[in-house]
Amino acid sequence: MALAAVVAHGGAGAGPERLANVERAVAIAAGILESGGSCVEAAVEACVVLEDDPVFNAGTGSVFRNDGSVELDASIQTSDGRMGFVIAIQETPNPIRVAARLLDQEVNGLTGDGARTWADEQGFPRSQVEGRPPFQRATDTVGVITRDGNGNIACATSTGGCSDRPSGRVGDVPLPGCGFWVQEGVGVGATGIGEAITRGMLSYRVAEKILAGMDLEESMIWALEDCLEEGAEVGLIALGSEGTGHGLANSKNMPWASWIARK
Ligand code: GLY
């Protein structure tokens, strides 16, 4: 048996004033895990809480693309080898639910109109996503990593994308190894400038360090210092096979919170 645990963030740049909102999502995940729920259920439901909270750039509060559209990316991966992601899906306030439905399909990921059509077939209702104009301060991405009592780990991430990006742009959130990576014994999620995170393949590289025995914080410091170009605001969360999760951002401006079950 493992001790259940959760770590979540509200985005690089979101600032400490969003901490209580992140803690609410962590409490939802903790409650699910304490009642015997799986890491996937806990990660998805906590991510939905963050997607529904308009202060975050994910789901309802997603920033407009340059053409005024709202396009959402979301991903989920599990330590038992499953993965689901959607890219630039529209009319879907909770894209993480569609990504999670893909976990048990042959297809890993879907994009744009194809993703939305598949969501229709799966019974996910269409609904206009409110979004927010780019002149309003946008944060970046939400992410939740959970470990359940069986030691299984899941990472769920969701975003409207960075500000000032064209329709169809693909950031780090739906790209395996970039915005997220999970395998047996480790889960990592990233937030910040998606292009820099992707060029650095940040989540996979942090996971490798953790699996090689590096401490969570040390592995994040290494990634933020050595795997990124100068000036890219980026944050990370991670959770291993035991102990509490951790979060770190190079701007120190990422609200994150964690929880672990009592022994
Ligand atoms: N990190 C979110 C994005 O670049 O889309």
Number of domains in the chain: 1
Q: Are 6 and 238 in contact (CB under 8 A)?
A: no
What's the CA-to-centroid distance between 171 and ligand 1, angstroms?
A: 5
Give pLDDT, residue 1.
87
pLDDT of residue 138: 67
> Which positions are catalytic?
141
Q: How many CA atoms lie within 13 A of 113 on its CB side?
A: 0
Mutate to test the pocket of ligand 1, among 65, 140, 164, 250 (most ligand atoms within 8 A of CB): 140
Q: How far is the CA of 197 from the centre of ligand 1 (A)?
A: 8
Name 27's Cβ contacts closer than 8 Å, sequence gap at least 6: 259
Q: Is 177 in the pocket of ligand 1 (CB under 6 A)?
A: no
Distance 18 CA to ligand 1 centre (A): 18
Q: Where are any strands of DSSP class E within the chain?
A: 5-9, 72-78, 83-89, 109-111, 142-147, 153-159, 180-183, 186-192, 234-240, 246-249, 256-260
- Helix (H, G, I), strand (E, B), or coil: what is residue 131? coil
Instruction: State the closest ligand 1 atom to the C-alpha of 194, by its place in the atom list counted from 1.
Output: 4
Its domain, for residue 225, covers 5-260
Is there an atom of ligand 1 within 6 Å of 159 CB? yes
Strand boundaries in 46-166, DSSP class E? 72-78, 83-89, 109-111, 142-147, 153-159
Q: Is the CB of 194 under 6 A from ligand 1?
A: yes
* Residue 192 CA, closest ligand 1 atom number: 1
Question: Which of 140, 162, 171, 196 has its CA nearest to residue 9?
Answer: 140
Task: Specify the pLDDT at position 113.
Answer: 98
pLDDT at position 15:
84
Strands of the sheet with 5-9, listed across from one edge: 109-111, 83-89, 72-78, 153-159, 142-147, 5-9, 256-260
The whole-angstrom distance between residue 205's C-alpha and the CA centroid of its chain comes to 16
The pLDDT, as a whole number, for residue 135 is 66
User: CA-to-CA distance for 76 and 99, rounded, in angstroms?
Assistant: 6
The CATH number for 113's domain is 3.60.20.30
> Atom 4 in ligand 1: which residue has the minimum CA distance?
194
Tell me the one-letter amino acid at 40.
Answer: V
Cβ-based neighbours of 10, under 8 Å, separated by 6 or more: 18, 19, 21, 22, 50, 55, 56, 139, 142, 254, 255, 256
Distance between CA atoms of residues 138 and 132, nearest Å? 8
Q: Check if 235 has its Cβ closer than 6 Å to any atom of ligand 1.
A: no
pLDDT of residue 163: 86
How many C-beta neighbours within 10 Å does residue 244 have? 15
| pTM metric for this prediction | 0.98
Q: Are 237 and 245 in contact (CB under 8 A)?
A: yes
> Within 10 Å of residue 40's Cβ, how many Cβ atoms?
23
Q: Are 250 and 235 in contact (CB under 8 A)?
A: yes
* Ranges under pLDDT 70 in the chain: 135-138
Quick check: 161 and 64 in contact, CB under 8 A?
no
* Inter-CA distances, 207 with 12, 61, 173, 189, 232, Å: 19, 29, 16, 10, 20
Atom of ligand 1 nearest to the CA of 190: 1
Q: Estimate to the nearest angstrom the gap between the alpha carbon of 74 and the chain centroid.
A: 7
Residue with the smallest CA separation from ligand 1 atom 5 is: 161
